[in-house]
Amino acid sequence: MYPKISSFVLFLDQSGSMQKTYKPLGKSKIVVAKDILLRMNKEIPELNYMGSVQLFAPDEVLLDPTVYNRETFQSVLEKIPTKFPIFGRYTPMAPGMQKLDETIQRLSGDVAVIMLSDGEANRGGDPVAEATAMKEKYGNRLCFHVISLATKAEGEKVLQQIAQLNNCVYVTAADMQNPELLKNFVKDVFYAFKPVQREVIILRGINFDFNKYDIKPEAQAILDSGVEILKKHPDIKIVIEGHTDSIGSEAYNQKLSEKRAKAVYDYFVKKGISPDRMKTVGYGETRPKADNSTEEGRAINRRVEIKVVK
């Protein structure tokens, strides 16, 4: 797991309209938003993010940028007020974003703003224009991820336009009631998993004497290392490839290469590797690694290679 971002701001609307009922859930919007933040906080990994909690309409910084700690953030989020007047408490979203910009200026690296709002801006200018100006200022460093509590088409349009500025995440508060969708939101915004680097086995140095397919003592140590890897990774399947030099007929060398692959297969089975995990193939003299005109080259070509196929 590694962080996708360096910093984040939880940016919550506390205007009068947030006291109104969020119809999909039958609760006030602010209560729904606070609950989402508390549940989301439980899913955010502690990966040395700088985090802040900021309210707008009216503007209030609950937590200045600090290294993210789950317990600290929980105590701050629990203090979010859920009882305040509906009337006379307007929604100046654009000025709220200007205040947000002051916080973002203090943050380094990629910054995620997680905005929870109903989008009902009714004072102080165009919030989409303000968000666009911030995008132009910070470029791809800044992403507005929106959790929408919109109950009106105009509010929904505003929030969607803000999220689309940098192709950021847009979800509804109703979506976030699903625990899996909430976890996916946190993952999409905050972190990713490094791809598993499968240990590739290409065992070489398994060579054979002329016209022989018995395993030489010096090859056993190489094969034993392959056994260890296979036991360590029980999901790995392999193909055992047999090869020959160019002396002799093609038909004879084809059969000899198959016998060499089978000899290694039998060795692995004896060491406890399931036959279901292995396939053998003989390539005869068709895939030389070295020049068959020299003894040294022919010795290199009398070989078996083991490769991962899954």
> What's residue 202's pLDDT?
57
Q: How far apart are CA 251 and CA 206, in angstroms?
A: 22
> What's residue 93's pLDDT?
87
> What's residue 86's pLDDT?
84
Report the CATH superfamily, name and number, of domain 2-192: von Willebrand factor, type A domain (3.40.50.410)
Q: What is the pLDDT of residues 209-268, one digit of tens each?
A: 999 999 988 889 889 988 998 998 898 899 999 999 999 999 999 999 999 999 999 999
Q: What is the pTM of this model?
A: 0.65
Residue 195, pLDDT above cutoff 80: no
Q: What is the pLDDT of residues 278-290, one digit of tens each?
A: 999 999 999 998 9
Q: What is the pLDDT of residues 31-89, one digit of tens each?
A: 999 999 999 999 999 999 999 999 999 999 999 999 999 999 999 999 999 999 887 77
Q: What is the pLDDT of residues 88-109, one digit of tens each?
A: 777 788 899 999 999 999 999 9
> What's residue 199's pLDDT?
47
> What's residue 194's pLDDT?
75
pLDDT interval class at 309 (50, 70, 90): confident
Q: How far apart are CA 200 and CA 303, in angstroms?
A: 19
Q: What's the mean pLDDT in 283-304? A: 93
Q: What's the mean pLDDT in 155-160? A: 96
Q: What is the pLDDT of residues 105-152, one digit of tens each?
A: 999 999 999 999 999 987 778 999 999 999 999 999 999 999 999 999
Q: Quote the mean pLDDT of the chain.
A: 93
CATH match of 202-308 with 3.30.1330.60: yes
> What's residue 203's pLDDT?
66
**Where in the chain are the domains?**
2-192, 202-308
